[in-house]
Amino acid sequence: MALRIVVVLAVLTGVTGSPNATMRPEAASSDMTANPNSVPETVEETHAFGQKEEEKEAEEEVMATGELNPNHYPAQRAAKVVQHYLNSRHGSPHRLFKVHRVHRAFAEDVPDTGRKYHLDVSIQEIMSNVTEKCSAEVLFPGGEQQGSARIQASCEELLKINSTTQDQAFYQQYKNNQTLVTAQYLPDSYGHVSPCMEPLRTLGIVASSVVMLNQSSENTLYNMVQVANLTQLSTENDQLKFHYHVLLHDMVSQEIINWKLLFTWSPAEGVKVEQMEQLPHCHSCEKPPNTN
Ligand SMILES: *[C@@H]1O[C@H](CO)[C@@H](O)[C@H](O)[C@H]1NC(C)=O
Ligand SMILES: *[C@@H]1O[C@H](CO)[C@@H](O)[C@H](O)[C@H]1NC(C)=O
Ligand SMILES: *[C@@H]1O[C@H](CO)[C@@H](O)[C@H](O)[C@H]1NC(C)=O
Ligand SMILES: *[C@@H]1O[C@H](CO)[C@@H](O)[C@H](O)[C@H]1NC(C)=O
Ligand SMILES: *[C@@H]1O[C@H](CO)[C@@H](O)[C@H](O)[C@H]1NC(C)=O
Ligand SMILES: *[C@@H]1O[C@H](CO)[C@@H](O)[C@H](O)[C@H]1NC(C)=O
């Protein structure tokens, strides 16, 4: 456990450079805007600093119903699921969404179905720095019901953001190259990602969003911490194909979880995850990278 937190902190301090970063979403997003190329997902890992207090809050408020404090965990967790949903559906190597702020949150029990959150939430597209206030509903199945959260979100302006030109260039670059790309540690232990690797890291966040959406419940708050490594595979069709190892962090349990993903991407089809597998905990593979 101690080791796992070290990974997060190592990644973190490199990213924010601020030992006393706070957990307010505003704080996270101002870090972002000051630093558009910085790690969007790990900025929020600053939660690790206030771990104890937040865990307590998380437990107490799990079943809160009615009007919720938009800055507290239950509202933030539901909003995060909307982020994963938008990224898994509409993300690309040059289009990535992030919760900027939760304005209003209301939770209700839906008999025989589960719990439904109604949210007013500002979502930011990171590359274009466009922010839109969207309304969304997140239904977490409960009782006999099984399966992932069901989400509805209306963010029309954000979906008009057009990354076609950059995505096409990325596609051509990796489709036509004789050499299949490989990479590791995006970001490295100093929080650094070289600009040419940034789209591959973003694509890793988008693919991870499919997993995070699938795994999310009312009691989780997932972020992708790092692409441990990636390998491009050759294809006979018009898709790009990749094998990624990613580290996901659940802020509620404080666990770092290792996932192996096999997915395809093309500008037309977006991300399609073919296989996803959670790897068993392995302390030796969770050591901070680049620290031999
Ligand atoms: C850290 O906290 C101090 C005192 O609360 C504050 O003056 C300073 O601006 C903070 N630094 C950052 C980077 O947030
Ligand atoms: C992003 O947009 C906000 C508000 O429109 C602005 O204050 C901020 O400076 C912008 N950030 C960047 C990096 O352009
Ligand atoms: C997650 O995905 C797997 C494989 O696609 C699926 O079998 C499973 O039902 C999903 N889990 C949830 C909670 O939806
Ligand atoms: C995006 O822009 C490209 C040209 O830059 C254009 O061909 C395409 O139709 C646009 N797509 C959308 C959805 O607006
Ligand atoms: C092809 O891949 C190699 C190695 O990854 C890289 O150095 C080169 O710039 C790539 N070529 C193009 C056209 O992207
Ligand atoms: C990729 O990362 C995973 C998880 O850290 C590790 O188990 C695996 O050995 C790595 N693979 C390569 C080729 O480095």
Contact 179, 161 (CB under 8 A): no
User: Does the model's pTM come out above 0.75?
Assistant: yes
What is the mean predicted confidence (pLDDT) over 233-241? 95
Tokens 């037309």 sit on residue: 268
Distance of CA 126 from the midpoint of ligand 6 (Å): 28
Ligand 1 within 6 A of CB of 179: no
Atom of ligand 4 minimally distant from the CA of 162: 1
**Radius of gyration of the CA atoms of the chain, in A:** 18
Distances (CA, A) of 203 to 25, 183, 199: 23, 13, 6
Could you report the per-residue pLDDT of 102-135, keeping only the tens digit for each?
Answer: 999 999 999 889 999 999 999 999 999 999 999 9
* H/E stretch holding 39: none
Distances (CA, A) of 263 to 138, 203, 204: 26, 10, 10
What is the band of 57 on the pLDDT scale with cuts at 50, 70, 90? low
Query: Domain residue spans in the chain?
Result: 66-278
Ligand 4 within 6 A of CB of 162: yes
Residue 75 contacts by C-beta under 8 Å, 6 or more apart in sequence? 68, 69, 102, 105, 117, 119
What is the mean predicted confidence (pLDDT) over 22-34? 34
- The closest ligand to the CA of 186 turns out to be 6
Ligand 6 is surrounded, with C-beta below 6 A, by: 184, 228-229, 245, 258, 285
CA distance linking residue 106 with residue 32, whole number of Å: 27
Ligand 3 is surrounded, with C-beta below 6 A, by: 147-148, 214
What is the mean predicted confidence (pLDDT) over 158-186? 95
Could you report the per-residue pLDDT of 74-96, keeping only the tens digit for each?
Answer: 999 999 999 999 999 999 999 99
Q: Under CATH, which number does the domain 66-278 receive?
A: 3.10.450.10
Contact 173, 162 (CB under 8 A): no
Share of the chain above pLDDT 90, in %: 69
Residue nearest atom 8 of ligand 4, based on CA coordinates: 164
What is the average pLDDT score of the chain?
81
What is the band of 142 on the pLDDT scale with cuts at 50, 70, 90? confident
Distance of CA 51 from the midpoint of ligand 1 (Å): 19
Q: Is the peptide bond before 19 cis (omega within 30 degrees of 0)?
A: no
Q: 55 pLDDT exceeds 80?
A: no
Closest among 221, 286, 202 to 45, alpha carbons compared: 221
Q: Which pLDDT value is given to residue 23?
A: 34
